[in-house]
């Protein structure tokens, strides 16, 4: 068996075993998945005229009311008007014809083919890629029923080209590349440009109407001809080697059909659409019929198409239908069962299965059913448990008895007293060929029939079983879990407990070749072990917990018929679970979309494996079957397309690079992927780069909504996957930009940031200036007070001291040198003089010039005058440039530096001349130079110990952000130079607007 069947692992199946095939040829139409979209239900409007599929996977439907694009979920209108014919070209483009023109659609762009007005009936592409079409309206200026497209122009063939037809309807290209073209009554084949007619007498009699409607080449070289008239030589005809004959004469006569459409699928099965009888399907073993009474959208069929996934699409005048494979096949009364009440099924040694039903026992073999009914020998009404023993005898529970069916006859089997057993719940055979019957007698009783006996013997047990199973290793398992009893193993009279007491009912048992034993329960699949049991449930990856039955296929993969569907678990996954009970298995679920209709059944066996490897399940109503060897899983679709974007309530095609208007916040991104068989399984995940940090969760929705987008660049990415979590590697991508409003631009934001920073700095500097102003006001108040005190001292204390000195000096003049008081008086005069000097010094420190009273020049001159009063040094002051007023604070600091320099020169330089120069430029300079003995370099750098004059000068210079230098050497005098930048010093300088703004920012 194929490796992909042996290991049903989803990854392996998807990677290497997924192929597209035709619909199951052995299945009847009623066993295929069928979906109908009806016009009356609002699926779309307009009768269907043609159906095709383009290379990108999308289905296209031509209707009387426009062209539709279908992705498996949505019918999207693409054009309006009546569309008559379709053809999907190999280059991916779509050709479609109307009653007036021929069009080509490529990448969403539609182009009309230039030429005369044409009424297109059929379009086909030949082996060379040339597009051909037939038309029914011709005129003398442009005759010809068959036309081709060359260089975007139409060229039609006429009688001069050997095509003597007034018009043409059907068109086909056979496997040799030859063209077949037909009117209603004539069929021609074009080979190497030469057309040969194949006349048919019955067709010639219908030259005006109801003639050839469809042409379908066959692989063997012949061609099927569909004729809309029924009768001898009409209906569905076959032309083979130049000879006409009915396509099918047995078991049905195809000449009785009014054929409008034909199709040969990839398995060679013929599909026939009719004008009034619906759909026919010709299988190797019979003919299926499916009409409006069976659920078809309409009986008048216009087109048939097989897509790449193997689905068959049927276009009717009332809608559209799809037929698809179902992995799980259902058998019911429609397929021939006696009734819909299937509660047991068992394999037959000769092939096929036996089915226990209400009112019938059915043998199903090779697709044929034989029903044993009460009127044909069934000894009762209700068939319960079944068993085919080693001798190929069928044990059958019927009503309250057990029978053996052998050679077509039912033989009743009773207990040792000749009584009925009761309704047989389960019948099994152990390795020693003992037959065990579990029957319902309130409570259940267990019977045994040994190979040497002919009567069932009741077995005395200390347990009350509700289910039994024969152990392939010998013995019997008895389960009475619903009564709180343990699972026990019974062999040769010995009972052995295998599992603890439980209230779980084990419905079926499955035994693997490796010796492991499994059971189905309502809490998952139980792995039975002698010391206990373990459960494989949803915590270990099982899709659901309630399991009705379990069994192994030929490759030892476990199949669990559960409430959510039919679950397949590979043998390798089971081995991993047995090794580690915490392991999360990988499985595949065949659910309702695969045809699974799981439910419980009342009698055993509930599941079986037939000789050909097929698995069968009874669900209480129908019989279901799956063939593990033919399982096909639908792979994830790869052709993800982002179709449109809705922004500000306007839908636009999604064109990469598009720009959305400013203030766009809400967008709806529409995407899709063509999945025509089971679109419900398709999953999507997406992310918006520029907004999302990670992929959004898988969803079936085909829209992505965003409500809080900001201006910027975005890239939307989406991938598709299936329900098993297998994702495609190809992404659909769409990039777009949301433009910013003027106030959302980076320039505006930067301008706001800069303006805010400048405003904050301006406010800060303004506050600093305000604080400085307040400090200046307080300082001026203190200066006024100090000036007042200095004036009071000058007018009172110094005047008194000066007057006292004058009196002392007068007394000295009048006193003789011999007067003993002269020395004392001289000392008094000296003290009074010193007091006056100290008073003046104090006054100078108290008095700070006020801007309205004294300038810097006056203050410096006063200091020089005080120095000159000592009589030891001459002074001189020069002013260079136009004096400019200074703020009081700055002027005082400059004055204090100058005064200190002048005072030091007067007291310590021992020079004869002192010069001061005031230069009003940029920078402002104050130069104090003497011709004295100079200052030692050590004192220039560090100052004199205990004296702080130089240190104070430097501190004041730093406060002014000025440059102070002292140039001095012994014997060469001393020069003190102060440089203050004009922009920061001057108060009333005529500065530019920008300079004044800068000073404001700096807080000056």
Q: Is the bond into 443 cis (omega within 30 degrees of 0)?
A: yes
Residue 671 CA to residue 733 CA, distance in Å, equals 10
609, 615 in Cβ contact below 8 A?
Answer: yes
Measuring CA to CA, which residue among 157, 149, 202, 204 is closest to residue 181?
157
**Can you tell me whether residue 254 is helix, strand or coil?**
helix
Count Cβ atoms below 10 Å from residue 644 Cβ, excluding itself: 17
What is the Rg, in whole angstroms, of the alpha carbon atoms belonging to the chain? 56
987, 996 in Cβ contact below 8 A?
Answer: no
- Residue position matching structure tokens 């679709």: 637
> Which pLDDT value is given to residue 989?
39
Helix (H) or strand (E) holding 286: strand 286-290
Measuring CA to CA, which residue among 404, 358, 402 is closest to residue 382?
358
> Which pLDDT value is given to residue 491?
87
In degrees and rounded to multiples of 5, residue 242 shows phi and psi of 80, 0
> Which pLDDT value is given to residue 970?
79
Residue 619 CA to residue 324 CA, distance in Å, equals 23
Ranges of beta strands (E only) in 881-972 are 913-919, 924-930, 963-968
Residue 17: both structure tokens together: 């075993």
975, HSE (Cβ side, Cα atoms, 13 Å):
9
Residue 116: both structure tokens together: 């005369």
Instruction: Give 916-953 pLDDT, tens digit per residue.
Output: 999 988 888 999 999 888 887 776 666 665 556 788 88
| Residue numbers of the chain with a pLDDT score lower than 50 | 1-19, 849-852, 987-992
Measuring CA to CA, which residue among 5, 104, 101, 10 is closest to residue 54?
104
Angle between helices 822-846 and 746-793 (to 10 degrees): 160
> Which pLDDT value is given to residue 990?
44
Instruction: Give 591-620 pLDDT, tens digit per residue.
Output: 999 999 999 999 999 999 999 999 999 999
End-to-end CA distance of the chain: 97
474, 431 in Cβ contact below 8 A?
Answer: yes
Quick one: three-class SS letters along 490-514? Answer: EECCEEEECCCCCCCCCCCEEECCC
> Which pLDDT value is given to residue 333?
93
> Which pLDDT value is given to residue 14?
32
Measuring CA to CA, which residue among 556, 543, 560 is closest to residue 626?
560
Helix (H) or strand (E) holding 727: none
In degrees and rounded to multiples of 5, residue 89 shows phi and psi of -80, 160
> Which pLDDT value is given to residue 7?
40
Residue 290 CA to residue 881 CA, distance in Å, equals 118
> Which pLDDT value is given to residue 830?
81
599, HSE (Cβ side, Cα atoms, 13 Å):
13
CA distances from 982 to 811, 840, 944 (A): 56, 33, 32
Residue 175 CA to residue 173 CA, distance in Å, equals 7
> Which pLDDT value is given to residue 846?
63
Residue 63 CA to residue 712 CA, distance in Å, equals 43
């Amino acid at each position: 068996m194929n490796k992909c069947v042996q290991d049903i692992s989803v990854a392996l199946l998807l990677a290497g075993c997924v192929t597209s095939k035709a619909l199951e040829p052995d299945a009847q139409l009623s066993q295929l998945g069928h979906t109908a979209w009806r016009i009356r239900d609002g699926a779309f409007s307009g009768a269907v005229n043609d159906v095709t599929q383009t290379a990108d996977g999308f289905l296209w439907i031509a209707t009387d009311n426009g062209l539709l694009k279908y992705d498996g979920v949505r019918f999207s209108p693409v054009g309006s008007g009546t569309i008559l014919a379709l053809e999907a070209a190999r280059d991916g483009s779509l050709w479609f014809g109307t009653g007036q023109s021929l069009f080509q659609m490529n990448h969403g762009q539609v182009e009309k083919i230039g030429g005369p007005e044409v009424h297109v009936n059929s379009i086909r592409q030949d082996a060379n890629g040339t597009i051909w079409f037939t038309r029914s309206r011709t005129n003398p200026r442009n005759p010809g029923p068959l036309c081709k497209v060359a260089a975007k122009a139409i060229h039609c063939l006429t009688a001069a080209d050997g095509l003597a037809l007034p018009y043409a309807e059907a068109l086909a290209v056979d496997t040799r590349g030859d063209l077949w073209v037909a009117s209603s009554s004539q069929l021609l084949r074009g080979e190497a440009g030469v057309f040969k007619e194949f006349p048919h007498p019955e067709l010639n009699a219908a030259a005006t109407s109801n003639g050839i409607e469809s042409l379908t080449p066959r692989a063997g070289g012949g061609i099927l001809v569909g004729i809309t008239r029924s009768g001898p030589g009409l209906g569905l005809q076959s032309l083979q080697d130049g000879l006409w004959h009915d396509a099918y004469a047995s078991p049905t006569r195809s000449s009785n059909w009014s054929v409008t459409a034909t199709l040969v699928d990839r398995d060679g099965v013929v599909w026939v659409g009719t004008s009034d009888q619906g759909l026919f399907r010709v299988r190797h073993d019979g003919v299926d019929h499916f009409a409006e009474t069976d659920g078809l959208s309409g009986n008048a069929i216009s087109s048939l198409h097989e897509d790449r996934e193997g689905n068959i699409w049927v276009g009717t005048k009332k809608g559209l239908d799809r037929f698809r494979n179902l992995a799980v096949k259902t058998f019911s009364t429609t397929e021939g069962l006696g009734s819909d009440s299937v509660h047991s099924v068992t394999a037959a040694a000769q092939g096929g299965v036996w089915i226990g039903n209400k009112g019938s026992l059915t043998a199903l073999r090779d697709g044929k059913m034989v029903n044993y009914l009460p009127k044909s020998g069934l000894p009762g009404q209700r068939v319960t448990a079944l068993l085919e023993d080693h001798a190929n005898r069928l044990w059958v529970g019927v009503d309250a008895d057990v029978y053996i069916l052998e050679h077509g006859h039912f033989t009743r089997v009773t207990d040792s007293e000749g009584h009925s057993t009761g309704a047989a719940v389960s019948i099994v055979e152990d390795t020693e060929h003992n037959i065990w019957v579990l029957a319902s007698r309130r409570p259940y009783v267990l019977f045994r029939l040994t190979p040497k006996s002919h009567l069932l013997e009741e077995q005395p047990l200390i347990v009350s079983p509700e289910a039994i199973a024969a152990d392939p290793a010998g013995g019997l398992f008895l389960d009475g879990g619903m009564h709180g009893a343990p699972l026990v193993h019974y062999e040769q009279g010995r009972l052995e407990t295998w599992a603890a007491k439980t209230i779980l009912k084990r419905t079926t048992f499955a035994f693997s070749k490796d010796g492991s034993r499994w059971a189905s329960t309502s809490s998952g699949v139980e792995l039975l072990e002698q010391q206990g049991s373990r459960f494989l449930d949803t915590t270990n990856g099982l899709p659901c917990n309630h399991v009705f039955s379990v069994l192994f296929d030929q490759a030892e993969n476990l199949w669990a018929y559960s409430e959510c569907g039919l679950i397949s678990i590979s043998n390798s996954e089971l081995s991993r679970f047995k090794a580690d009970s915490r392991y999360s298995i990988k499985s595949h679920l065949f659910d309702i979309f695969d045809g699974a209709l799981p439910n419980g059944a009342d009698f055993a066996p509930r599941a079986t494996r037939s000789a050909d490897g097929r698995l069968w399940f009874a669900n209480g109503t129908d019989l279901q079957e799956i063939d593990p060897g033919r399982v096909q899983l639908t792979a994830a679709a790869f052709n993800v397309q982002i179709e449109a974007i809705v922004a500000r309530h306007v839908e636009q095609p999604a064109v990469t690079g598009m720009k959305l208007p400013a203030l766009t916040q809400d967008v709806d991104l529409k995407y899709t992927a063509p999945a025509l068989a089971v679109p419900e399984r398709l999953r999507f995940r997406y992310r918006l780069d520029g907004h999302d940090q990670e992929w959004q969760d898988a969803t079936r929705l085909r829209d992505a909504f965003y409500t809080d987008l900001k201006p910027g660049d975005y890239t939307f990415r989406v991938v598709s996957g299936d329900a098993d979590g297998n994702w495609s590697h190809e992404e659909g991508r769409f990039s777009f930009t949301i433009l910013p409003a003027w106030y959302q631009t980076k320039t505006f934001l930067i301008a706001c940031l800069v303006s805010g920073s400048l405003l904050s700095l301006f406010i800060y500097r303004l506050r600093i200036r305000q604080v400085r102003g307040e400090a200046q006001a307080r300082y001026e108040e203190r200066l006024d007070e100090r000036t007042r005190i200095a004036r009071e001292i000058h007018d009172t204390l110094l005047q008194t001291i000066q007057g006292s000195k004058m009196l002392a000096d007068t007394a000295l003049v009048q006193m003789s040198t011999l007067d003993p008081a002269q020395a004392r008086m001289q000392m008094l005069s000296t003290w009074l003089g010193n007091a006056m000097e100290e008073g003046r010094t104090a006054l100078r420190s108290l008095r700070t010039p006020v801007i309205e009273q004294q300038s810097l020049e006056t203050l410096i001159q006063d200091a020089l005058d005080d120095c000159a009063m000592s009589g030891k040094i001459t002074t001189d002051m020069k002013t260079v440039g136009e004096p400019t007023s200074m703020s009081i604070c700055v002027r005082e600091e400059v004055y204090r530096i100058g005064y200190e320099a002048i005072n030091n020169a007067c007291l310590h330089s021992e020079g004869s001349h002192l010069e001061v120069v005031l230069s009003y430029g940029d920078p402002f300079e104050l130069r104090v130079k003497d011709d004295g003995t100079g200052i030692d370099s050590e004192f220039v750098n560090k100052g004199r110990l205990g004296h702080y004059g130089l240190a104070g000068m430097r501190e004041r210079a730093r406060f002014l952000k000025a440059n102070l230098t002292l140039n001095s050497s012994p014997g060469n005098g001393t020069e003190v130079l102060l440089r203050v930048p004009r922009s920061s010093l001057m108060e009333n300088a005529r500065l530019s607007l920008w300079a004044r703004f800068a000073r404001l920012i700096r807080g000056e």
